[in-house]
Structure 1
Amino acid sequence: MTEERILIVGAGLSGAVIGRELALQGHKVEIVDSREHIGGNCHTERDASTGVMVHVYGPHIFHTDDAEVWDYVNGFTTFLPYKNRVKTTSGGKVYSLPVNLHTINQFFGKTFRPDEARAFIEEQADKTIADPQTFEEQALRFVGRDLYEAFFKGYTQKQWGCSPTELPASILKRLPVRFNYDDNYFFHKYQGMPENGYTEMIGRILDHPNITVKLATDFRREEADGFDHVFYSGPLDGYFDYELGRLGYRTLDFERFTYDGDYQGCAVMNYGDVAVPYTRITEHKHFSPWEEHKDSVCYREFSRACEPGDIPYYPIRLVEEKAQLADYVALAEREAGVTFVGRLGTYRYLDMDVTIREALDTARLYLARKAENAAMSTFLNPPL
Structure 2
Amino acid sequence: MAAKHCLMVGAGLSGAVIGRALAETGHRIDVIDARAHVAGNCHTERDAETGVMVHVYGPHIFHTDDAEVWAYVNRFMPFRPFVNRVKATTGGAVYSLPVNLHTINQFFGRTLRPDEARAFIEARADLSIADPQSFEEQALRFVGPELYAAFFKGYTTKQWGCSPRDLPASILKRLPVRFSYDDNYFSHRFQGMPEGGYTAMVESILDHPNIAVTLGHEVRREDAAGYDHVFYSGPLDGWFGHDLGRLGYRTLDFERFTANGDWQGCAVMNYCDETVPYTRITEHKHFSPWETHEASVLYREYSRACGPEDIPYYPIRLIDEKELLRRYIARAGAERGVTFVGRLGTYRYLDMDVTIREALDCAQRALGAWERGDPLPAFSAPPI
| Deviation (angstroms), 1:49 | 1.8
Name stretches of at least 5 consecutive residues in structure 2 with no aligned partner.
Answer: none
Match of 2:24 in 1: 24
Q: Which amino acid aligns with 2:46?
A: R
| Deviation (angstroms), 1:179 | 0.4
> d(CA) in 2 for partners of 1:333 and 1:258?
48
Correspondence 1:220 to 2:220: yes
| Deviation (angstroms), 1:128 | 1.2
> d(CA) in 2 for partners of 1:138 and 1:5?
49
Q: Which amino acid aligns with 2:222?
A: E
Match of 1:351 in 2: 351
> d(CA) in 1 for partners of 2:127 and 2:33?
51
Q: Is the 8 A contact 2:255 2:299 kept in 1?
A: yes
Match of 1:135 in 2: 135
Q: 1:50-94: per-residue Cα shift (whole Å, max 9, x none)?
A: 110000000000000000000000000110000000000000000
Q: 1:103-139: per-residue Cα shift (whole Å, max 9, x none)?
A: 0000000000000000000000011111111000110
Match of 1:40 in 2: 40
Match of 1:155 in 2: 155
What is the number of equivalent residue pairs in this alignment? 384
Match of 1:372 in 2: 372
Match of 1:318 in 2: 318
Match of 1:179 in 2: 179
> d(CA) in 2 for partners of 1:381 and 1:49?
41
- Is the partner of 1:68 in helix, strand or coil? helix
| Deviation (angstroms), 1:380 | 2.3
> d(CA) in 1 for partners of 2:112 and 2:36?
53
> d(CA) in 2 for partners of 1:59 and 1:118?
32
Q: Is the 8 A contact 2:89 2:269 kept in 1?
A: yes
Match of 1:259 in 2: 259
Instruction: Give the % identical residues.
Output: 72
Match of 1:62 in 2: 62
- Is the partner of 2:250 in helix, strand or coil? strand
- What RMSD over aligned residues (CA atoms) do the two structures have, in Å? 0.5
Q: 1:285-334: per-residue Cα shift (whole Å, max 9, x none)?
A: 00001111111110100000000100000000011100000000000010
Q: 1:2-53: per-residue Cα shift (whole Å, max 9, x none)?
A: 0111001000000000000010111110011000011100100011221100
> d(CA) in 2 for partners of 1:186 and 1:300?
22
Q: Is the 8 A contact 2:281 2:301 kept in 1?
A: yes
Q: Which amino acid aligns with 1:154?
A: G
| Deviation (angstroms), 1:205 | 0.2
Name stretches of at least 5 consecutive residues in structure 1 with no aligned partner.
Answer: none
Q: Which amino acid aligns with 1:227?
A: Y
TM-score computed with the length of structure 2 as normaliser:
0.99
Match of 2:328 in 1: 328
Q: 1:225-257: per-residue Cα shift (whole Å, max 9, x none)?
A: 110000000000000000000000000000011
| Deviation (angstroms), 1:173 | 1.1
Match of 1:121 in 2: 121
- Is the partner of 2:321 in helix, strand or coil? helix
Q: Which amino acid aligns with 2:368?
A: A
Match of 1:192 in 2: 192
Q: Which amino acid aligns with 2:324?
A: Q
Q: Is the 8 A contact 2:18 2:363 kept in 1?
A: yes
- Is the partner of 1:96 in helix, strand or coil? strand
> d(CA) in 2 for partners of 1:19 and 1:247?
27
| Deviation (angstroms), 1:145 | 0.2
> d(CA) in 2 for partners of 1:174 and 1:26?
43
> d(CA) in 1 for partners of 2:262 and 2:242?
45
Q: Which amino acid aligns with 1:318?
A: L
> d(CA) in 2 for partners of 1:238 and 1:16?
20
Match of 2:170 in 1: 170
| Deviation (angstroms), 1:260 | 1.3
Match of 1:245 in 2: 245
Match of 1:78 in 2: 78
Match of 1:360 in 2: 360
> d(CA) in 2 for partners of 1:130 and 1:221?
48
> d(CA) in 2 for partners of 1:199 and 1:131?
44
Q: Is the 8 A contact 2:359 2:380 kept in 1?
A: no
- Is the partner of 2:225 in helix, strand or coil? helix
Q: Is the 8 A contact 2:261 2:294 kept in 1?
A: yes
| Deviation (angstroms), 1:381 | 1.5
Q: Which amino acid aligns with 2:2?
A: T
Q: Which amino acid aligns with 1:234?
A: G
Match of 1:204 in 2: 204
Q: Is the 8 A contact 2:30 2:212 kept in 1?
A: yes
| Deviation (angstroms), 1:157 | 0.3
TM-score computed with the length of structure 1 as normaliser:
0.99
Q: 1:330-381: per-residue Cα shift (whole Å, max 9, x none)?
A: 0001000000000000000000000000000000000000000000111122
> d(CA) in 1 for partners of 2:314 and 2:173?
17
Q: Which amino acid aligns with 1:169?
A: A
Match of 1:7 in 2: 7
> d(CA) in 1 for partners of 2:195 and 2:31?
25
> d(CA) in 2 for partners of 1:138 and 1:221?
42
Q: Is the 8 A contact 2:10 2:232 kept in 1?
A: yes
